[in-house]
Amino acid sequence: MTDSKPATMAQIAERAGVGLSTVSYVLSGKRSVSPKLRERVLAAIEELDYRPHRPARALASGASHTIALFLPSPQWQLLPIQQTFVAGATQATSASDYSLLLSTAATDPDTIAKLVARGRADGVILMETLLDDPRVERLKADGHPFALIGRTHDTTGISYVDLDFRDAVETSLAHLARLGHTCVALLNFPPDLLEAGYTSALIARDVFESRAPDVGIRGIHVPCSHAPHEAFAVAARLLRSEPTCTAAITTGWQFTGLLSALRAADLHVPNDFSIVSVIAAQFADMLTPALTGVEWPAFEAGRMAAEMLIEQLTVQTAPPRQHLIAAELFVRESTGPAPRDRTAVEPIRTRRNRSAG
């Protein structure tokens, strides 16, 4: 190669026209590969001057050949979309003969670092990342391989995959503004995540409050739990206190409680109230009404994060891979024109409702 940067497994797979798992099988010898595919992979390796990290591969095989995924979740319960992230990571690890160790406990940086140092896992995938995340800093300081589903403030040298929440909120606001909505709530991530500095929550809040006035919307920021009964209580208070609010954007599973609160208030979607959610398409289509939403391809994100990490474990100097997913809005049944009799008439302003939830 004329480029000084080393080739990656992904580039080998693309050049050979095979999957990443096939490249992994050829390198590891863990599974048999047809002579034709093996020849194509080896040719691509030679063409791209690929340098596999043999010592690291041997160390990984001699230790655990396991990847640890840390997804802190209250009461160790995973939302359906979180389960989808895990499923995507599992597909990638299984394809490359790695096991996946899942932890839903809120694990401190020392424990995570010791897990790798003691050989129980060869690398780590972190979720629910914070703007300044001590877990990331510890893994970087110790030189342990890791990848993120999410981002930190400084992503230098870090492999990650994340949804562009700035783009997601701006796209959602623009859609609702075109429909004539002038008072919109953001049901953001729960208060504890905001207080902890959860990156996506902070981005969503800041973009919502700065961009809503630009499109003629009075924005109401409401931190809100994903738990249905808690989201119902928050949404019910919102509907009582803000009768001119005609639409909401949800950053996740808060829509379940919101839909229940709307039914209890005898408000119909989308005739009386519109909803846009950041959600995986398979869940949006299952609901009644089907949710208009910004697609969060959770399965693909989980798979990509695992592949990024596996590449670090099998390539001597694998460069960081960073993938920010642009917002793509799918208009379904939950959004419609703002009802004239409920359109906000107050001057446009934004405020943070930190007491809700």
Residue 135 lies in a domain: yes
Residue entry with tokens 């994903």: 226
Task: Give me 140's structure tokens.
Answer: 């970087």
pLDDT digits (tens, 9 = 90+) for 153-202: 999 999 999 999 999 999 999 999 999 999 999 999 999 999 999 999 99
* Residues 341, 228 within the same domain: yes
Mean local confidence (pLDDT), 290-295: 96
Rounded distance between C-alpha atoms, residue 188 and residue 254, angstroms: 8
Rounded distance between C-alpha atoms, residue 313 and residue 324, angstroms: 22
- Given this model, what pLDDT does residue 139 score? 95
pLDDT digits (tens, 9 = 90+) for 73-120: 866 578 888 999 999 999 999 998 899 999 988 889 999 999 988 888
Residue 74 lies in a domain: yes
Q: What is the pTM of this model?
A: 0.78
* Residues 44, 60 within the same domain: no
Say whether pLDDT at 32 is over 80: no
Mean local confidence (pLDDT), 295-320: 91
Residue 304 lies in a domain: yes
- Given this model, what pLDDT does residue 217 score? 98
Mean local confidence (pLDDT), 320-344: 88
Mean local confidence (pLDDT), 62-72: 83
- Given this model, what pLDDT does residue 354 score? 35
Which pLDDT band, with edges at 50, 70 and 90, does 136 fall under? very high
Cβ count near 80 (within 10 Å): 13
* Residues 181, 293 within the same domain: yes
Rounded distance between C-alpha atoms, residue 331 and residue 283, angstroms: 14
- Given this model, what pLDDT does residue 263 score? 96
Give, in order, the Cα–Cα distances in Å from 31 to each of 24, 27, 153: 9, 10, 40
Mean local confidence (pLDDT), 211-225: 97
Which domain CATH number covers 137?
3.40.50.2300
* Residues 235, 151 within the same domain: no
Q: Which domain holds residue 271?
A: 165-297+329-352
Nearest CA among 229, 272, 231 for reference residue 252: 231
- Given this model, what pLDDT does residue 350 score? 36
- Given this model, what pLDDT does residue 5 score? 58
Phi and psi angles of residue 222, each rounded to the nearest 5 degrees, phi first? -130, 105
User: Of how many residues is the chain composed?
Assistant: 357
Task: Give residue 17's region: left, alpha or beta (phi > 0; psi -120 to 50).
Answer: left
Residue 62 lies in a domain: yes
Rounded distance between C-alpha atoms, residue 204 and residue 214, angstroms: 16
Q: Which SS3 state, helix, strand or coil, does residue 171 take?
A: helix
* Residues 277, 307 within the same domain: no
Q: Amino acid letter at 6?
A: P
Residue 357 lies in a domain: no
Residue 89 lies in a domain: yes
Helix intervals (H) in 63-108: 80-95
Residue that wins the pLDDT comparison between 111 and 29: 111
Q: What is the mean pLDDT of the chain?
A: 87
Q: At what angle do helices 255-264 and 228-241 cross, to 10 degrees?
A: 50
* Residues 45, 64 within the same domain: no
Residue 137 lies in a domain: yes
Cα angle value 323/329/332 (rounded, 5°): 145
**Dihedral (C-alpha) 141, 97, 302, 319: value to the nearest 10 degrees?**
50
* Residues 109, 97 within the same domain: yes
How many domains in the chain? 3
* Residues 211, 344 within the same domain: yes
Task: Give residue 154's region: left, alpha or beta (phi > 0; psi -120 to 50).
Answer: beta
pLDDT digits (tens, 9 = 90+) for 245-260: 999 999 989 999 999 9
- Given this model, what pLDDT does residue 28 score? 64
pLDDT digits (tens, 9 = 90+) for 18-28: 887 788 777 76
For residues 341 and 246, the answer to whether their CB atoms sit within 8 Å is no
Say whether pLDDT at 59 is over 60: no
Say whether pLDDT at 63 is over 80: no
* Residues 129, 194 within the same domain: no
Which domain CATH number covers 42?
1.10.260.40
* Residues 203, 144 within the same domain: no
- Given this model, what pLDDT does residue 6 score? 61
Lowest mean pLDDT among 46-50, 101-105, 136-140, 293-297: 46-50
Say whether pLDDT at 346 is over 50: no
Say whether pLDDT at 347 is over 80: no
- Given this model, what pLDDT does residue 12 score? 85
Mean local confidence (pLDDT), 38-64: 65
- Given this model, what pLDDT does residue 9 score? 78
* Residues 142, 157 within the same domain: yes
SS (H, E, C) 12-74: HHHHHCCCHHHHHHHHHCCCCCCHHHHHHHHHHHHHCCCCECHHHHHHHHHCCCEEEEECCCH
Say whether pLDDT at 265 is over 80: yes
Residue entry with tokens 């992503």: 155
* Residues 242, 343 within the same domain: yes
